[in-house]
Chains A and B, each alone.
Chain A
Amino acid sequence: MIGLVVDGLSQGVVFAMLGLTITLVFGLGGVLNLATGVFGVIGVIIAARVTGIVQSPYVALVVGSMGVGALGLGVDQSLLRFVYRADEEDRVMLGIFVTLGLATFLEGLFVLFYPNPYSVPPGLETFTIEGVFIRGASVATIVVGALVFAALYLFMTHTFLGQATRTVMQDETGALLCGINTRRLRTLTFVLSTVLAAIAAIAFTFSSEIAVGSSFRLTTNAVIVAIVGGVTNLTRTVIAGIGLGIITTFASGFFGGYFSQLVLFLTAIVVLLAKSGDLA
């Protein structure tokens, strides 16, 4: 039972990080980044290659997420430039289709060279505390997640850039009037969100594996978490992610994998219908 809670928590941490990648970009720029899952899996591929050279999963984590961050910067400067040029309503639509196209393109590209599922095992064994089996990998995921949340919290509350980011999320025009360069901030948050996506996906593969072909599953999970969390609130996104992670882990533990997926989708549907007034 406690073992299941730990697994659920680690799943929840991954969900929360994935949800944050959507919330950050959507909250700041009105773009629903449907490529977030692919960015994550690309991070996993880079990390898995790195572990072949350096025997440390944590070095791999850093290199993988940085690599994806660079890719994110490239995408932001090229593709998203066109998207941000459009005004409010058009931008939402354009954002959906351009990132969907990007996801399809990157998936097609990476499947050519890396069709297999990859994982980045942290090299921790299952251990027991007072007779309870706890998976080392799950603990590693939770630790990584906790560090990320702490760093993000400090960034958002204690730095100028973080405060500027929150200002833009609340009121774009107001932020502009305060002299904040919104375009630069958007670049920053987009890169940040791709780095987060990579960390989330790599932390996910501590205990399982994933292939580029199934990257869209990460994206849908991310979108659902963000939606349940209310799309523009970072704290609530984290809470929603952890909650959904625990629920789906228990559902899958008791009823099986498809059922847990179904629970996730049904939660999203119910939340969307119940409190759609607050959303976007």
Chain B
Amino acid sequence: MIDDRRKVALVVFLLALVPLFVFREGSSYVARIWTVMVFFAVLTLAVNVTFGHTDQLLLFTGSIAGVGAYATALSAGALGITPWLTFLPSALVAGLVGFLVCYVGARRQLTIIIISILTLAIQLAFISIVYGLSEITGGNTGLTFEGFALAPVRESLGLPEHFLVYYIFLLVLAGTLGVYYYLMHSKYRLAFDAIRQDDDAAEATGIDVVRYKSIAGFVSTFIIGLAGPFYAQLQGLVFPGMFTLGAIDVLVLIMLVVGGIRTMYGPVVGSFLLVYLNQQLQQFQEFKTMIFGLLLIVLFLFFQDGIVRYVDRLLRERFELEERLNRLGVR
């Protein structure tokens, strides 16, 4: 079997080859779909850290991405500098929000339901602030945003624009997979597992629950805040409608469960599948909401393990069967 580290490298490498074979010059349609897939894979991986591993259901993924995007665009505009300088501080701001919420939540021992409502309220407050400050944020219509275009670099390399955005996202995804790999192969894994099973027992064995929960919150929201501005670049716009519960959070949660919660590739598989499904359902646009609703119900009731674990089990059973047959000398 290939070890995990090489598997990560292989996945990223394969995704890096995608544009060469799939993207077509002059048509950004296919490129957009792939880029959106990678974007959602990043978000879902981030949510996997908080919701999957530390049982913190944060229902403000959309607005955290929004914080990243708006902070990047507005500060770049106000200071008259390129967003390449502002996107990291903005992600840091997003990460701080997540850190604070998780810190307070863990300190006050908020139950999962309370923390989910709290973050939902923050999400809604964020959206109404964006609407309320329409002179600055552009309100419903939003702001145009193309600060990451990098025209000179692109022209010197001869790359079409959508290649660039895709590779930026792939870079973010690679980084996220790296972080996730680190978390899963260090003391964090142990601490997270203990916390998820029982807060109090974990505390009793000497694990600093508040610290680990806050770190998980920071890592997750930092990554989401990092992805936000590049999503805006992909859309060419920053507007509140793209950062709502329905547009981001619901999808991300479905993706996480479809792919496999608490797995490394589950979020990637889930987001690719859902974005693909979304595309296929384009001609049934009006039924889409209905189908996603049904999917959410059915998945949570009957398919909580997710595809990755399911396939894993199938493969393992097959290998074991073959091995046994070999041993028996049948073949």
Tell me if B14 counts as interface (CB < 8 A to partner A).
no
Q: In the assembled complex, which residues on chain B have CB atoms less than 8 Å from the CB atom of A54?
A: none
A111 and B297 form a contact (CB under 8 A): no
Q: A265 vs B120: C-alpha distance in the bound complex, in angstroms?
A: 9
B108 and A98 form a contact (CB under 8 A): no
Tell me if A109 counts as interface (CB < 8 A to partner B).
yes
A262 and B297 form a contact (CB under 8 A): no
Q: In the assembled complex, which residues on chain A have CB atoms less than 8 Å from the CB atom of B25?
A: none
Q: In the assembled complex, which residues on chain B have CB atoms less than 8 Å from the CB atom of A259?
A: 128, 132
Q: Which of B104, B121, B289, B296 contacts A97, CB < 8 Å?
A: B296
B125 and A273 form a contact (CB under 8 A): no
Main DSSP-derived SS at the B contact region: helix
**Known contacts A102-B293, A279-B114, A280-B114: A266-B108 contact under CB 8 Å:** no
Q: In the assembled complex, which residues on chain B have CB atoms less than 8 Å from the CB atom of A256?
A: 132
B131 and A105 form a contact (CB under 8 A): no
B112 and A98 form a contact (CB under 8 A): no
Q: In the assembled complex, which residues on chain A have CB atoms less than 8 Å from the CB atom of B108?
A: 273, 276-277
B294 and A101 form a contact (CB under 8 A): yes
Q: Which of A224, A269, A279 contacts B122, CB < 8 Å?
A: A269
Interface size class of B (residues with CB under 8 A): 35 or more
A272 and B121 form a contact (CB under 8 A): yes
Main DSSP-derived SS at the A contact region: helix
B113 and A280 form a contact (CB under 8 A): yes
B289 and A108 form a contact (CB under 8 A): yes
Q: A92 vs B129: C-alpha distance in the bound complex, in angstroms?
A: 30
Q: In the assembled complex, which residues on chain B have CB atoms less than 8 Å from the CB atom of A129?
A: none
**Known contacts A265-B128, A269-B122: A223-B117 contact under CB 8 Å:** yes
A105 and B294 form a contact (CB under 8 A): yes
A268 and B121 form a contact (CB under 8 A): yes
5 A-B pairs within 8 Å (CB atoms) are namely A94-B301, A98-B296, A105-B289, A106-B293, A259-B132
Can you name 8 extra interface pairs (CB under 8 A) apart from A104-B290, A262-B128, A272-B114? A92-B111, A96-B116, A104-B292, A104-B296, A109-B290, A223-B120, A262-B125, A279-B111
